[in-house]
Amino acid sequence: MSAPRTDALSVLVVGGGTAGHIEPALAVGEAVAELDPNARVTAVGTPKGLETELVPRRGVPLELVDPVPLPRKVGGDLFRLPTRLARAVRGARAVLRRTEADVVVGFGGYACVPVYLAAALTRGRVPIVVHEANARAGIANKLGARFAVATLAAVSGSGLDARVVGNPVRRAVAGLDREALRAEARATFGLDPDAPTVLVVGGSQGARSLNSAMAVVAQEFSDAGVGVLHAVGPKNLGDAPAVTGDGPAYVTVPYLDRMDLAYAAADLILCRSGAITVAEVSAVGLPAVFVPLPHGNGEQALNARDLVAGGAALLVEDAALTPDHLRSTVLPLALDRDRLDTMSAAAVSGGSRDAAEVVARIAIDAAGKARR
């Protein structure tokens, strides 16, 4: 038996599997709580995704539903889909009842399909707001958009008939003053307080191509007076390069829990171009060298397109990220203060620092209309 309904607004933010789905969901949840301190925000994900680690760490309640990958070809998974989907939708409807959901805000990923369907099939229907972070919409959000009261996207050309609002980023990042935090950030990581510093990030698990190429030139960067903060991935710490001499430190860490401090410490970032990384880099005005993931449908290259065109970033294909490229392009860029300042200004002008608040206001408005 469900508990009596409360007056507080109940907002479900749904997205799981990767940080690219989870981070914007949590950013919008944070914005909802700021706009309406009485609101109850609940995250919904799957038992197998990163959300089981990231969401509790942020102090947000987490509900789990069975993931329902949609098969892309005929096979056993396709024939089992109806049964699996029905079971997942039943579980999602139970989540909607337990949380007394007033609105569902979905960001894509396996958790979204059953929740979108459950919200659409619930008597009276729970309003759905869809946000697509990537340059190309995924299957889950294409489905959700059919039932949504509002469809939003980070960039134009996503394949959805959507209002472009940018990508939601956390308040700690959107409001970051890199200059004010720089001394603290560099001290936290043990970096040289004055040397040009490159941040190298390959995603939550690291990136083999970035790690391998940087290992070859690590000593050269230090000898040239450039410090490095390198998140190598939790499984790769034993392969981290070591440098000698009196040059700036080459600091390796398995994972960065405080990306705000990492951004503040850096003058330049070498990284993948996932949607959230691109949004955060733009929001904080950090010049970037993007290395799109070479797999999938090419969406990472598309994610970086606008910043590259605007002069805020460079783009290099994964196969072209060699030690020679780092020597000839990245190292000179790290030492070119004037060019970095120009790129930083271009990054800020292309960002959307208020996207989380915009999405949160739309969700709160949709919930309010549904309650009337």
Domain ranges (residues) in the chain:
10-171+353-371, 176-349
Q: Is domain 10-171+353-371 annotated with CATH 3.40.640.10?
A: no
Say yes or no to pLDDT of 341 above 50: yes
Phi, psi of 150 (to 5 degrees): -150, 130
Q: What is the SS3 assignment for 60? A: coil
Query: Where are any strands of DSSP class E within 144-257?
Result: 150-153, 163-164, 197-201, 227-231, 250-253
Would you say 215 and 238 are in contact if contact means Cβ atoms under 8 Å apart? no
Please tell me whether residue 354 adopts helix, strand or coil conformation: coil
Tell me how far apart the alpha carbons of residues 174 and 5 are, in angstroms, rounded to a whole number: 34
Other Cβ atoms within 10 Å of 316 Cβ, number = 17
Report pLDDT for 2. Answer: 41
Q: What is the mean pLDDT of residues 73-77?
A: 64
Provide the pLDDT for residue 202: 81
**Assigned superfamily of 176-349:** Glycogen Phosphorylase B; (3.40.50.2000)
- Closest among 366, 371, 322, 313 to 343, alpha carbons compared: 313
As given in the structure block, the two tokens for residue 181 are 């935090």
Distances (CA, A) of 267 to 28, 154, 230, 258: 28, 25, 13, 16
Average confidence (pLDDT) over 329-354 = 93
pLDDT of residue 215: 92
Listed residue (213, 247, 252) closest to 230, CA to CA = 252
Give the separation between CA 129 and CA 141, rounded to whole angstroms: 10
| Mean pLDDT of the chain, nearest integer | 91
**What's the pLDDT tens digit per position in 144-200?**
999 999 999 998 889 999 999 999 999 989 999 999 999 999 999 999 999 999 999
Give the per-residue pLDDT at 237: 66
Map tokens 């996503």 to a residue.
Answer: 158
Look at residue 89 and tell me whether its pLDDT is greater than 70.
yes
